[in-house]
Structure 1
């Protein structure tokens, strides 16, 4: 007996993040298998997939590519059917997939043995959007490493490949639709926004409109952590962790949150929700593509090496476009080490509303500092940087802000 099953996006899949349909991986009338990816969504954080809730035939598509995918909205429907009687569409689809399979991918793939715990074989599915790009630019799919489920090639993978393999003018033609780039004056052009940039822009505007931002700035002597890092960097590397300054900043932020818990909170109209756990997000730049914030979950009890290991793992995944939705959700506090790109001081916007604060760290530089020794003022050269805390002034005041920064400063400057 056949039945119509709705395809919906649950609230826990996006956690309030706006998502857009990047592409449908199946066409109307094609056969789908339960747990098979059928929609590719794009958020300001990651690409994610929606899987088929049942096996059957894709009956209808209600939310088209480029349109917003909201929770509990019906994206499409599947006519649930028995697996034993595949439709002609299913057969035709298999034939199309066989023609589109990259040459270096065998059609005789090994089957997964659940008892052996082997990973799923590489996906041979080529989405319609990827097919169009291949026809337009005539490239070899076997040269592209897929980042979708089971290494499936996504449109983002294709665009990244085209941008990196062509000269500047060819890359522009590959990344942007030439018809969409119109000159506005001599020597200028309009470059269309990517979906990620549109969502980031909307996210930032929402944050500024929602929360009154106030920033406090302290200076920071990095002498103690530089000395500790020099002595321990190699030992950490042997355990798979890059001992960066960001790891120290995270560890100190956790200690400062324990001292001033209200920093790790969320503002509600009826009260302030103070979290007992610390899910620490850190801003990671993706070049021209935008910004992403991976989250180290439950890090309130992690030591420095555990923080460094997680930081290394998530940073590598972010830069290789391999983060899962779970790895960018649930943050309660965010750190932005903008100094890595040369910035001395900044007042970051609270990236992830409704968090109450974001910590910013500037570039380290040697400065002359006046210190008192034996009753005499002396000029000393020290490695210094500026640290800022931007708060939602609805939730926090100067007292909590400066109390947090004072404790953060003390932890860093007295690192043992």
Structure 2
């Protein structure tokens, strides 16, 4: 009897739970060592699980949509020679797979979304992923090229699936609606947010920050070592300064003690449109220069939007920034804490506002680039005095930027 080797879910995963999203191989098909075999999706990342060895996919134990606990057996690979595999593969595939397997299922969720958004046939796109696989970045580049040079071959829109009878049979009303199934990422985010609100008493303080000094510095040094300086890089650096003044903010609440972290690992909330939010982490930010922070930030956000983050990129955060002003809001409150952290910073839209400034003892009316900044805390771990002290140092750092 042929030897069977288990395909396991990672023992360590980022997110509240993992869901089997898509098998990239059918039962009976040959697989090569480290070849992408199955996709797992959490509330933060989609991860390809590689084949642990070369062989034949013998058995699929966890189907699409099932929850995969760390270490769970997802399937099994059979160790056999090529001649036996060639005989067994067609029969096994016929017994377990429909005859009209849709080849589009072999693409990642991000690529399949791009197929729907752009109507581009991925078979016409050169893949830059492992083994020539087409990535979301490849699809985005093909779309941009299409806009520049004209149309490319497209897929016919898929016929929308009919609603299940439990929904289709509902009595009609005077309001029209449609049902959009929740993705595993959306369900996991909802669960995590509900847990945070239920666990921690949220309190929010709001300050106002003048970005004049930051803008002057950025205009003088728009590019440092080939890395664009974003406003978020300055915000991360100001967070590091504030942590030195109030280290308790960089902490985790335990029932019998407060754990204060020496390393400042700052997560940056990054929106993926309707797909949800991921939070890649800038590790050891206290040891990085402004240019170093900018470089790390540019790398993480680029890979986040290309669906190329790994679980390691989002593990170990001790504090989080929600730059909600990027989408236009002035104030968002309360911004829900990313458990098990003790606080989260919110940064509103940067806009010119009329303010009063004293010059030589005389009040003057000036136009300054201003933004509301908020710190939402777990009131079990922190009090108003610490919250305001942290925000005071944070704002002072931004407003006195001279280096």
Interval of TM-score (by shorter of Structure 1 and Structure 2): 0.7 to 0.9
The total of aligned residue pairs comes to 374
User: Residue 387 of structure 1: CA displacement?
Assistant: 0.5
Among candidates 320, 325, 341, match of residue 306 of structure 2: 320
Q: What is the aligned partner in structure 2 of residue 18 from structure 1?
A: 17
> Pairwise mapping of residues 27-38 of structure 1 onto structure 2 (< 5 A)?
27-38=26-37
How far did residue 47 of structure 1 move?
Answer: 1.4
C-alpha distance in structure 2 between counterparts of 1:277 and 1:18, whole Å: 26
Offset of residue 366 of structure 1: 2.2
Per-residue deviation, residues 10-48 of structure 1 (Å, max 9, x unmatched): 332x14532111111222333333322211111222211
Give the C-alpha shift of residue 75 in structure 1.
1.9
* Inter-partner Cα distance in structure 1 for 2:156 and 2:198: 34
Which of 161, 182, 195 aligns to 1:177? It is 161
Describe how 1:141-290 pairs up with structure 2 within 5 A.
141-144=122-125, 149-153=130-134, 174=158, 177-179=161-163, 185=173, 186-233=175-222, 235-236=223-224, 239-290=225-276
2:68 paired residue number: 69
- Contact 2:136–2:306 (Cα < 8 Å) also in 1: no
Moved more, 54-63 or 214-223: 54-63
Instruction: Give the direction of change, closer, same or farther, for the CA distance of 1:231–1:211 in structure 2 (3 Å limit).
Output: same
> 2: distance between equivalents of 1:151 and 1:282?
31
1:349 aligns with 2:335: yes
Q: Residue 332 of structure 1 aligns with which residue?
A: 318
CA distance in 2, matches of 1:159, 1:269: 47
Query: Cα 1:209–1:85, aligned 2, differ >3 Å: closer, same or farther?
Result: farther
Q: Is the contact made by 1:357 and 1:389 (CA closer than 8 Å) also made in structure 2?
A: yes
- Partners of 1:159 and 1:415 in 2: how far apart? 37
Structure 1 gap ranges (5+): 97-125
Could you tell me whether the CA contact under 8 Å between 1:348 and 1:358 is conserved in 2? no
The alpha carbon displacement at 1:360 in A equals 0.7
Whether the 8 Å CA contact 1:336–1:348 is kept in 2: the answer is no
5+ residue gaps, structure 2: 95-102, 148-153
CA gap 1:336/1:130 in 2 versus in 1, 3 angstroms: closer
1:102-149 deviation per Cα after TM superposition (whole angstroms, max 9, x unaligned): xxxxxxxxxxxxxxxxxxxxxxxx675559x8xx99973323465764
Normalising by structure 1, we get a TM-score of 0.78
- State the shift of 1:316 in Å: 1.6
Name the stretch that deviates more: 303-312 or 28-37: 28-37
Q: Are the equivalent residues in 2 in contact too, given 1:279–1:332 (CA < 8 A)?
A: yes
